[in-house]
Structure 1
């Protein structure tokens, strides 16, 4: 009887040790599964955030490319100089129309201000316009105000601009070095500085989104390597 009891003792202890080891092993696996389950949604959200940032930056690049970059590249007034104002004269009035409601348009008018300058870099006499859009809208007038009902207010705006130009005498200007355009402009709509600052933010967003995805992928790769090293040691 004692022999039977004694022979079962060590086997029972070994079985108990194996049971404890299995429980510990199952607990470790469960903890690893919990960790993986907790990390996976976070990694998915991080990758989704990175993709959204990349797509948003691509859309911004597209919009800037068809607006600012295109206008900047198409502009022929690339050389900066100073111009001497020769005369600023208000010529005949130009008709315009303004909105008075839904499907309602009424006519008004504003005086056309013509300004002639001498380009100091070349000594050429040219007509001065405000910017590229003014040149496209009206090739004769220096400034095209927003049309409104009050004709007197429009006249006052143009008269004020004329007086300021006459008082300054010397103004900065941009001209076409290839002489494809006879006129010069006072200001450019989009300069290199404005173009740089506009492209800076989508570039930062693109780099940030790419870095987020790369960091998540690197973390996943390191996790797999750690798991493989742990299996090799066991």
Structure 2
């Protein structure tokens, strides 16, 4: 009977192949470890932030600063005047008479970088009658006009051309003279300063444009 030599040789050859693969794998890991300075490779190593991320962060901080600035500007220009304004109620007013005072009001204007001048603007006074109480009061354009100069209907922007300021005041006077006797809405303060009433409760300048438009129509109708 012959010994089973072939299976033994196959077993020995398979063992040699496994030892060879183990040696190759060990040597490969060793070379990789030596290449990384003795430390295992870190697959989750963080990458440095890119230039796009830096720009995005800078844009975010810029928008935050702009929002804070707009909040302060909104509070100063809108909320503060509204909170400080006098509480007024709506009523009906009729024009009694209008006049432009003889002595103008002093004002200052700028004519350049280092140039400042003194001028005068005409003071238009509009006397009205409160329909519900029969009380007489001075009419003002808005709350700001009362605070700047309580004697005049409005305070124009000062400049050196006094004739231009006078013509504007005359146009507004002509408009109110035309609606003399016609009731219109106004706002008065029942608690304080009942002698001062205002025409509008906001600070928009649409009234002046409306006055100029109506005056132009009146002039055209006369011709």
Higher relative contact order (CA 8 A, sep 6+): 1
Indicate if the aligned counterparts of 2:142 and 2:203 stay in contact, CA closer than 8 A. no
Gaps of 5+ in 1: 192-234
Q: Does 1:182 align with 2:190?
A: no
Q: Residues 123 and 54 from structure 1, CA distance in 2 versus in 1: closer, same or farther, beyond 3 angstroms?
A: farther
Aligned to 1:81, what secondary structure does the other structure show? strand
CA distance in 2 between partners of 1:171 and 1:74 (Å): 25
Q: 1:228 maps to which residue?
A: none
Q: 1:68 maps to which residue?
A: 78
Q: 1:173 maps to which residue?
A: 186
CA shift, 1:12, in A, is 4.1
Q: Residues 181 and 44 from structure 1, CA distance in 2 versus in 1: closer, same or farther, beyond 3 angstroms?
A: farther
Indicate if the aligned counterparts of 2:144 and 2:203 stay in contact, CA closer than 8 A. no
Q: 1:92 maps to which residue?
A: 102
CA distance in 1 between partners of 2:74 and 2:188 (Å): 24
The two structures have a TM-score, normalised by structure 2, of 0.63
Q: 1:133 maps to which residue?
A: 144
CA shift, 1:125, in A, is 2.2
Q: 1:7 aligns with which of 12, 15, 25?
A: 15
Indicate if the aligned counterparts of 1:85 and 1:171 stay in contact, CA closer than 8 A. no
CA distance in 2 between partners of 1:40 and 1:167 (Å): 71
Indicate if the aligned counterparts of 2:100 and 2:125 stay in contact, CA closer than 8 A. yes
Aligned to 1:178, what secondary structure does the other structure show? coil
Q: Does 1:148 align with 2:159?
A: yes
Indicate if the aligned counterparts of 2:187 and 2:199 stay in contact, CA closer than 8 A. yes
Gaps of 5+ in 2: 1-8, 33-40, 205-223
Q: Describe the superposition over 1:100-148 as per-residue Cα deviations: whole angstroms up to 9, x where unpaired.
A: 4454444433322110122345543211111233222221111222222
CA shift, 1:99, in A, is 3.1
Q: Residues 134 and 13 from structure 1, CA distance in 2 versus in 1: closer, same or farther, beyond 3 angstroms?
A: same
Q: Does 1:116 align with 2:116?
A: no
After alignment, is 109-118 or 1-10 more displaced? 1-10
Aligned to 2:86, what secondary structure does the other structure show? coil
Q: Residues 135 and 104 from structure 1, CA distance in 2 versus in 1: closer, same or farther, beyond 3 angstroms?
A: same
